[in-house]
């Protein structure tokens, strides 16, 4: 695993696992985005380490805690999600200044969901989410709004156009009162890339963006995805909303993606031009929609 950040994150995961008595011999990098994900072979444990995430989530222990809490509750209710590890406390842990959590390793097949499969899988997840009550406090959709507030504070520092950063905050504020609906626990980032094919069927992963809020926030992830036909996916859920009902949630998704792409660009500076274009297009789209 090359790179200082990746090496430090992998070392933290190995150190915590070994301290818990696990015999880690051959850690293998599974993915490296704003978080690093590493399989601690030969034990069936995967570590998730917050590497670049704190750029927009300085209090990153909170979303990692929420993720473990929600996944644990969903597993107990029989939901198709990747479970937290049962071989050591799933966390979150802090080591060498990094926040990390541990998950059960599942064999992932190369299949990708069709639009209908993704919509039905999200509908089933929402049925179980409706049974969950973890006693969380906070405003609806506090995760995306807190992240966007941090982007307003730090976006120019990350390299984004200060005028677009300020405009992003203004538009998010205008969208907030438009995002109504019954409030419950959400996946938070329910795009098809977070729906894994396994021998036991489709399983949702990556619940770090979870919050309380209307289910339309999750549905907007499918509707705006470029990985499948979003309209067909949303039509496959029970009682699907109309495009007009989803529009404000989709606009918030555009701003949210535009903000987070600057975190990717901090990790990979070659993507700065793409990040600038994505944020500009998001601001233009949302401005036109609200105008």
What tens-digit pLDDT sequence spans the chain (291 residues)?
Answer: 346 888 999 999 999 999 999 999 999 999 999 999 999 999 999 999 999 999 999 999 999 999 999 999 999 999 999 999 999 999 999 999 999 999 999 999 999 999 999 999 999 999 999 999 999 988 999 999 999 999 999 999 999 999 999 999 999 999 999 999 999 999 999 999 999 999 889 999 999 999 999 999 999 999 999 889 999 999 999 999 999 999 999 999 999 999 999 999 999 999 999 999 999 999 999 999 998
Domain match, 166 and 275 both: yes
Q: What is the pLDDT of residue 3?
A: 62
Domain match, 157 and 187 both: yes
- The SS3 of residue 84 is strand
Domain match, 70 and 126 both: no
Cβ atoms of residues 182 and 86 within 8 Å: no
Q: What is the pLDDT of residue 6?
A: 87
Q: What is the pLDDT of residue 80?
A: 94
From 181, 265, 259, select the one nearest 220 (Cα to Cα): 181
Cβ atoms of residues 70 and 185 within 8 Å: yes
- Give the count of beta carbons closer than 10 Å to the beta carbon of residue 133: 9
Domain match, 72 and 154 both: no
Among 56, 72, 104, residue at a domain's last position: 104
Domain match, 259 and 166 both: yes
Range of the domain at 23: 4-104
Q: What is the pLDDT of residue 2?
A: 40
Q: What is the pLDDT of residue 4?
A: 86
Q: What is the pLDDT of residue 1?
A: 39
Give the ranges where the chain is alpha helix by DSSP (H). 4-19, 61-76, 115-129, 142-158, 162-175, 216-223, 230-235, 243-267, 272-290
Query: What's the total number of domains in the chain?
Result: 2
Residue pointed to by tokens 């535009």: 258
CA torsion angle 6 52 187 184 (round to 10):
140
Q: Is residue 28 part of a domain?
A: yes
CATH number of the CATH domain containing 58: 3.30.200.20
- The SS3 of residue 31 is strand
Q: Is residue 109 part of a domain?
A: no
Among 104, 137, 168, residue at a domain's last position: 104
């Amino acid at each position: 695993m090359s790179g200082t950040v990746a090496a430090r994150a992998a070392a933290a995961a190995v150190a915590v696992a070994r301290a818990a008595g696990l015999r880690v011999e051959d850690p293998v990098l599974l993915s490296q985005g704003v978080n690093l994900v590493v399989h601690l072979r030969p034990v069936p444990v995967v570590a998730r380490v917050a590497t670049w995430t704190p750029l927009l989530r300085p209090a990153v222990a909170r979303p990692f805690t929420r993720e473990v809490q929600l996944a644990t509750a969903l597993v107990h209710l029989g939901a198709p999600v990747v479970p937290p590890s049962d071989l050591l406390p799933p966390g979150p842990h802090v080591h060498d200044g990094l926040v990390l959590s541990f998950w059960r390793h599942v064999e992932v097949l190369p299949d990708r969901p069709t639009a209908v499969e993704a919509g039905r899988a999200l509908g089933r997840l929402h049925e179980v989410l409706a049974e969950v009550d973890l006693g969380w406090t906070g405003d609806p959709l506090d995760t995306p709004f807190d992240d966007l507030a941090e982007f307003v504070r730090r976006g120019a520092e990350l390299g984004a156009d200060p005028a677009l950063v300020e405009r992003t905050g203004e538009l998010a504020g205008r969208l907030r009162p438009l995002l109504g609906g019954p409030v419950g626990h959400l996946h938070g980032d329910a795009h098809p890339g977070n729906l894994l094919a396994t021998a036991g069927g489709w399983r949702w992963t990556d619940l770090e963006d979870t919050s309380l809020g209307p289910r339309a926030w999750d549905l907007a992830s499918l509707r705006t995805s470029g990985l499948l036909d979003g309209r067909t996916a949303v039509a496959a859920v029970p009682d699907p909303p109309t495009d007009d009902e989803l529009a404000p949630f989709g606009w918030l998704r555009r701003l949210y993606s535009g903000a987070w792409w600057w975190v990717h660009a901090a990790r990979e500076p070659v993507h700065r031009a793409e990040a600038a274009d994505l944020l500009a297009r998001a601001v233009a789209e949302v401005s036109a929609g609200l105008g």
